[in-house]
Structures are given as structure tokens and as C-alpha cells.
Amino acid sequence: MNDVVGTWQVALSDGVHKVEFEHGTTSGKRVIRVDSKEILRRDWLFKLVGKETFKIGKHQCTINIDAVSGFAYEYTLDVDGKPLEKFSENRSKISRTWTLTLDGIDYRVVLEKDTLDLWVNGQRVEADAEFTDDGTETIFDICSHPAILKAVSTGYRRSGINHALFVDGNEIPVANE
């Protein structure tokens, strides 16, 4: 019997993780799965509301279980102490993500702007950065395809730096996550 009451998509540098939560409202059973792998199971609980905490990589996650009326419950996910929507909004400010398909394989490239770490399909990539007249170019390969991440100053303090990814000489649009 499957009592899945909540699913969430959590976009992190190492990929997009699917979180599933099962809640048995008669037994109090709680099961958490991340990317289809069970990471927590409590079979009998008399308290039907509360919190369950777990980690995805270095990120602390909490599923909140609240009664809304009678035997109806509301389930929310917090990541690093923030509601998932707020966490995702903040992440979009400190990272850039591009998705592309090369040779029939999907790739996800993430730049963490605060650390300048570069990730391709969940693996941190070592890359060479070079200064140019306009800014910097970070050169790396994606499955034998040449890639360049260009960082160019906008000239305005508020808008900062524009990042653009080029693979095989073609600019890849930023993904909306």
C-alpha cells in the first residue's frame, strides 16, 4: 500500500533530487525517499503531526506535517531552514544552470557563482580559467565537446557579471529551474 502524500523536486548543484514522503494517517507510518532510495522509515508513531529531518548532500531538509482540519494534513519541505520555494529562489541568485543534449545524452551544467565551482551532471569539473579583455573564460570539455564559460562584467554594480555558456561554439540558453 502506497501512502505517498508529498513529492518535491530539489535542484542542487549535483542535480535535481526527487523527494517522496509517505504518511500513514492511521498507523503514523513515515517513509522518506530521495531519488527512489529509502532513507528513513518509521512504522508506528502515535503522533501524526511533527517534523522529519534528513540530509541531501550537505543540505539539511525538514518535512513538516501539520493538521489542517479533522484528519486532513499539510506537508511542506524546508531546505536549510527555508521553505523550498524561498530556498530555490535564493539558489537561483547564487547559481546558473544550463541544460543541453549532446550526442543523444542530456547534460546539466551548474555554476556556483559564490565558489565558482562548475558541475556537469552532478560531478565537479576541474577547468582552466583565463583572463580576457572582457572578463574571464573558463575552458572545459563536456564528453569531448569543447565548452567555454564566459564571465563578462555588465559595467553596472547592481547587475554584476553576465555568465554565458558556449558548447561547440554555440551559446546555450540559461535553464529555468
* Cα–Cα distance measured from residue 104 to residue 75, given in angstroms and rounded to the nearest whole number: 37
* Cα–Cα distance measured from residue 52 to residue 21, given in angstroms and rounded to the nearest whole number: 10
Q: Give the right CATH number for 4-80 from 2.40.128.180, 3.40.50.300, 3.20.20.80, 2.60.40.1150.
A: 2.40.128.180
Number of residues assigned to the chain: 177
Q: Give the right CATH number for 91-172 from 3.10.129.10, 3.40.1440.10, 3.40.1190.20, 2.40.128.180.
A: 2.40.128.180
pLDDT tens sequence across 88-147: 999 988 899 999 999 999 999 999 988 889 999 989 998 888 888 888 999 999 999 999
pLDDT tens sequence across 42-81: 987 777 889 999 999 999 999 999 999 877 899 999 999 9
- Give the confidence band of 161 by pLDDT, cuts at 50, 70, 90: confident
Query: pTM (2 decimals)?
Result: 0.80
Q: What is the pLDDT of residue 177?
A: 65
Q: Where in the chain is the domain with CATH 2.40.128.180?
A: 4-80, 91-172
Q: What is the pLDDT of residue 33?
A: 97
R_g (Cα) of the chain, nearest Å? 20
Q: How far, in whole angstroms, is CA 53 from its chain's centroid? A: 18
Taking 60 as the threshold, does the pLDDT of residue 1 lie above it? no
Grid coordinates given for 166: 558556449
Grid coordinates given for 175: 535553464
The three-point CA angle 31-8-78 to 5° equals 85
